[in-house]
Chain A
């Protein structure tokens, strides 16, 4: 089936630096791209999303970029804090109204 590739799987950064996660998708008809954050022992929660009519979206310390030609989207966490340590998942809507396809996740670790 369709897949969403997410890299890197593990990301270690220093507090105050930025962290970037990249995802690629297969279906050019995909129109919705959410990002979820999952803290240890918790359920995933939506932190930001972008639709195909936009190329960039920013909320607080998060930036999402979408390149439809390359079928690539990315999450950038600016000025990382220890509270940003978590697993992050990207997802893309596939063709035909089926369920979102999730990436395999990135474990982000922010050290003081």
Chain B
């Protein structure tokens, strides 16, 4: 088995602030993902990465940067937090795009 950890669990930021979310996995999976989930809504793909140093844009990449520093870690940066923004950011990993994605516990973002 393996585990995905996301830090921090809760993140409170100020409008215009640059915020970084981190994700680590020990499945030895090649592909990692970042999704945004608004309350009661679906998953929207922000970025994904199929291998170390790779980066692919999802439908929601504007306003975000990402970095796959090594195979086990994938970080997401909110480049300029928007006031009243509230969402959960979910990290996931998979062997490749045609296999099960395992999700982390999420980072809950609140922007004041």
Contact = CB atoms under 8 A, between A and B. Distances in A.
Interface residues of A, number: 23
Given A34-B100, A49-B100, A97-B97, A104 B41 contact: yes
A70 to B, nearest CB: 21
B43 A89 contact: yes
Interface residues of B, number: 23
Contacts, number: 50
Interface stretch (B10-18, B62-70, B71-79, B102-110): B102-110
- Per DSSP, are chain B's interface residues mostly helix, strand or loop, or mixed? loop
B56 A99 contact: yes
Contacts of B59: 1
A99 B97 contact: yes
Interface of A: 1, 6, 31-32, 34, 43-46, 49, 87, 89, 93, 97-105, 107
